[in-house]
Amino acid sequence: MSFSPNVNDAIKINGARYRFTEHPSAKGMPYGQTGRRATVYQVKAHDGTLYALKVFTQAFRSARHAENADRLLPFAHLPGLQACQRQVITPQNEKKLVGEHPDLTYAVLMPWVNGETWQEFMLAQHPLTPQQSLVVARSFASLLANMECKGLAHCDLSGPNIMISALLITGKSLEDGIALVDVDDLYAPGLPCPEKLPGGSPGYAHKTAPQGLWSAEADRFATAVLLAEMLTWHNERIRQQAFGEQYFDTTEIQKDCPRYQLMLEALRRHYGAPIADAFQLAWQSETLNECPSLSRWAELLDTSLGTPVAEIAGPATGFVLPTFKPEFKPIDEGGPSPSSEDTTMAASSSIHANTDTNALSEFSKAMNSPSAQAPSGNNRWVWILVVLLAIALIILFASYSSQAQELQSNRWELSNARDEQATAVANARNEQATAVANARNDIMSNIVGLNYFRATLSDFYNNKTIPVVNVNGEQIGELNLGYGWFYGENDKPTNLHSLVTVRIFLNIYAESETGYYGFTTNLQDKYDNEERHLPSVGSTLSIETSGYKAAIRVIDYEKDSETAGWDEPAFGALVLDIVISNQ
C-alpha cells in the first residue's frame, strides 16, 4: 500500500516528532507536491520549524541518496543551496519506520524552502514589472555564477526547481531571494556519478541532453532559456505567447520558430544587443561548451544594464544635427570663394533621413554654384541669403529635435508611471493575500484538531497531562488528570487502591490568561460520611471554558463497596472517554 499520510499524522525521525501539515488550498488534505521523481510533503517539528519530506517513487529510491547526504552537506551554507542539508531514512537507521512504511525507504528530510516556483509564476501568468524581471534574473544568475566558480552544477534546471521568495519580488530583501530544490543529482568534483544521468526537463533541455547531463557545463543552456523568460516576463506579448508551464514547446527548442524570434526581439529591444546575442549564441549552439558561461551572464546583467527599456506606443524618433562649419576669407583679397564641408545627418526614421539629406544636398549645391561665389555684385547677397537660410534650417532642426526629445521624455514618464502603478497593484495584492493568510491562520489556530483520549484510574494516580492541539497540530492547551484538592492532607493517597477523589482540569492557554478555565468535581468522593458522587456507566459529564468543551463519558466503572471507608478503595475499574471540541 502506498504511503498516504493524513493531516496531523505524526512521524518520528531520528528521535524527533514531525506532523504533516494541511494544504493551504485544500482543506483536510496534507500539503504535498508530486513531481516526476517524488512527492514532497510539508511537515512541522515540535518547535514549529517547517521541513520537507521527499518520498521517492520506486524507480528513484536509491542508497545513493544516503551515501551523498554527507557529501552534499558542505554546500548547504552556499546561497540558494539550503536543500543540501538533509537526513535520509534508511532500513539501518529507521528500521521500525521503514518496516511500517516501506515507501519511506531512502526518503529525505530537509529544510522547507519558502516561496513560489518559477513554473507557478508562468502558469498563473503573474505579471512582473521591468524592474522585478531584472532583479529576479540578476539574483538567479548570481546564484549560478557562484556555483560555477566552485565547480558545481544542478544538472536539471527547470521552472519547478527554482524557488523565488516573495521578499525578492517585493524588493524587501535581496538575500536568499532564489533557492534551488531537487539537488539529488548535483554535480561537484568528487561526487559519484548518478546511476541514471539526468536528461534535462521539457522546454529547457539542450539537443545533447538525451546523452546525459552531468558536468560543470550542464546548466548553461537551461540557464540561458530561464534567464530569457525572467527578463522578458514583464512583456505582455511574451506572457500571452507562452506555451504553458514553460515558454517554449519541447518541439521548438533550438529551432528558428516564431516564439524564438519574439523572445530575441524582446531581449534586444528591452536590454540591448549583448543580452540578445548571448541568448542567440546559446540557442544556436551545438554543444554546451559553446553556450555563454554562467559568470558571463552574471557579468552582462550586473555591468551592462540599468532599468530595462519599457514598451511604449509607436517607434522612437530623433536625429543627430548636421555638422556645418563654413570658412570665411576677406572679400577684398580675391581669394577662393567660401565653401562648406560635407554635412551628415542621422535619423531613426527613414522619412526624416530622406528629407534632411535632400535639404542638405540642395544647400551644398547652392553653396558650390557659380552664383554663390564671392565677392562682388548681387552674388554676395545671394550668398548671405543662403547662409541665413542654412542658419534658419539649423534652428528649425534644433527645435524639432527638442520637441522629439520632449515627446520621448513624456513617453518615458508615462511608462514609468505605468510600472509604478503595476508595482503598487502587485504590492497591494501581496498585502491582501498576506492579510487573508494571517486571518485564516488565526482562525485555524483556534480550531481544535482530533483530540480524543481514553483515561484509566492509573492516569489519575500518576497525574497524567495530555496536550490539546489545534488543526495545525500546534499545542493550545492541556488536559490534566489528577486527584484530590490542593490543600487537603487526607486527599493524598498512599497507593492506587486508596485513591478516593479524582479530578479533571481543562486548561486552554489563551483563555487561562484571562481567568477562563473549567474543571469537574462530578467524579469526586466526598469526605468521610458525606454523600458520595459515584459515576455510573454510560453517564456523560462535561467541562467548559468560554470557547472549548470537553465531553466525558464513563464506559466502565465498578465500585468496591457502597460504604467503603477512607482507607478502602472507592473505585475499582474506571475508564473514561474524553473528547475536546470547540463550543
SS3 track for 240-270:
HHCCCCCCCCHHHCCCCCHHHHHHHHHHHHH
Residue 122 shares a structural domain with residue 210: yes
Domain boundary among 111, 143, 162: 111
pLDDT tens for 5-43 read 999 999 999 999 999 999 887 888 899 888 778 899 999
CA torsion angle for 244, 247, 252, 258 (degrees, to 10)? 110
Residue 338 has pLDDT above 50, yes or no: no
Count up the domains in the chain and report the number.
4
φ, ψ dihedrals at 482, nearest 5°: -150, -160
Question: Which pLDDT score, from 0 to 100, does residue 36 have?
Answer: 77
Asked if residue 40 lies in contact with residue 32, where contact means CB atoms within 8 angstroms, the answer is yes
Question: Which pLDDT score, from 0 to 100, does residue 512 have?
Answer: 59
pLDDT tens for 368-384 read 444 444 445 567 888 88
- Interacting residues of 389 by C-beta distance below 8 A, sequence separation 6+: 363
For the chain, what percent of residues have pLDDT higher than 90?
A: 39
Is residue 314 in some structural domain?
Answer: no
Can you tell me the mean pLDDT for 244-272? 94
Question: Which pLDDT score, from 0 to 100, does residue 134 have?
Answer: 93
Can you tell me the mean pLDDT for 418-440? 71
Question: Which pLDDT score, from 0 to 100, does residue 128 have?
Answer: 92
Residue 248 shares a structural domain with residue 138: yes
Asked if residue 340 lies in contact with residue 360, where contact means CB atoms within 8 angstroms, the answer is no
Residue 106 shares a structural domain with residue 131: no
Is residue 5 in some structural domain?
Answer: no
Higher pLDDT, 544 or 495: 544
Question: Which pLDDT score, from 0 to 100, does residue 186 have?
Answer: 94
Rounded to whole angstroms, the Cα distance separating 284 from 264 reads 12
Asked if residue 133 lies in contact with residue 125, where contact means CB atoms within 8 angstroms, the answer is no
Residue 101 shares a structural domain with residue 121: no
Residue 29 shares a structural domain with residue 43: yes
Residue 492 has pLDDT above 60, yes or no: no
Question: Which pLDDT score, from 0 to 100, does residue 414 have?
Answer: 73
The label of the residue with cell 558542505 reads: 74
Residue 61 shares a structural domain with residue 204: no
Candidate from 38-47, 234-243, 316-325, 400-409 with smallest mean pLDDT? 316-325
Rounded to whole angstroms, the Cα distance separating 41 from 112 reads 9
pLDDT tens for 49-65 read 999 999 998 888 988 89
Containing domain of residue 217, as a range? 116-303
Residue 552: Cβ within 10 Å count: 20
Is residue 60 in some structural domain?
Answer: yes
Can you tell me the mean pLDDT for 329-343? 37
Residue 185 shares a structural domain with residue 294: yes
Question: Which pLDDT score, from 0 to 100, does residue 385 have?
Answer: 87
Is residue 440 in some structural domain?
Answer: no
Residue 533 has pLDDT above 90, yes or no: no
418-455 burial: b if 16+ Cβ within 10 Å, else e: ebeebbeebeeeeeeeeeeeeeeeeebeeebbebebeb
Q: How confident is the model at residue 267 (pLDDT cuts 50, 70, 90)?
A: very high
Residues facing residue 52 across a β-bridge: 42, 110
Rounded to whole angstroms, the Cα distance separating 363 from 342 reads 10
Higher pLDDT, 474 or 367: 474
The label of the residue with cell 522547507 reads: 112
Residues for the chain: how many in total? 583
What average pLDDT does the chain have? Answer: 76
Q: Name the residue type at position 538.
A: G
Residue spans of alpha helices (H) in 150-293: 166-169, 220-232, 236-241, 258-271, 273-283
The CATH number for 80's domain is: 3.30.200
Residue 541 has pLDDT above 50, yes or no: yes
Rounded to whole angstroms, the Cα distance separating 515 from 68 reads 54
Whole-Å CA distances, 313 to 269, 309, 408, 409, 513: 13, 12, 11, 13, 63
Residue 133 has pLDDT above 90, yes or no: yes
Is residue 238 in some structural domain?
Answer: yes
Is residue 335 in some structural domain?
Answer: yes
Question: Which pLDDT score, from 0 to 100, does residue 129 have?
Answer: 92
Q: Which three cell numbers stand for residue 478?
A: 492541556
- Interacting residues of 404 by C-beta distance below 8 A, sequence separation 6+: 317, 318, 319
Higher pLDDT, 356 or 49: 49
Can you tell me the mean pLDDT for 226-234? 96
Question: Which pLDDT score, from 0 to 100, does residue 248 have?
Answer: 96
Question: Which pLDDT score, from 0 to 100, does residue 542 have?
Answer: 75
The label of the residue with cell 478555565 reads: 517
Residue 417: Cβ within 10 Å count: 10
Domain boundary among 76, 111, 146: 111
Residue 229 shares a structural domain with residue 345: no
Higher pLDDT, 167 or 120: 120
The CATH number for 158's domain is: 1.10.510.10
Domain boundary among 91, 111, 131: 111
Rounded to whole angstroms, the Cα distance separating 257 from 500 reads 87
Higher pLDDT, 468 or 472: 468
pLDDT tens for 555-574 read 766 554 444 443 444 455 67
Residue 350 has pLDDT above 70, yes or no: no
Can you tell me the mean pLDDT for 459-480? 80
Residue 170 shares a structural domain with residue 287: yes
Is residue 443 in some structural domain?
Answer: no
313-341 burial: b if 16+ Cβ within 10 Å, else e: eeeebebeebebeeeeeeeeeeeeebebe
The label of the residue with cell 479524582 reads: 502
The label of the residue with cell 467524579 reads: 523
Residue 161 shares a structural domain with residue 289: yes
For the chain, what percent of residues have pLDDT higher than 70?
A: 69
Residue 307 has pLDDT above 60, yes or no: no
Q: How confident is the model at residue 137 (pLDDT cuts 50, 70, 90)?
A: very high
Q: Which three cell numbers stand for residue 305?
A: 544594464
Residue 283 shares a structural domain with residue 139: yes
Residue 532 has pLDDT above 90, yes or no: no
Question: Which pLDDT score, from 0 to 100, does residue 495 have?
Answer: 55
Rounded to whole angstroms, the Cα distance separating 537 from 39 reads 47
Is residue 121 in some structural domain?
Answer: yes
Higher pLDDT, 443 or 456: 456
Rounded to whole angstroms, the Cα distance separating 17 from 466 reads 16
Question: Which pLDDT score, from 0 to 100, does residue 2 have?
Answer: 74
Can you tell me the mean pLDDT for 336-345? 35
Residue 269 shares a structural domain with residue 359: no
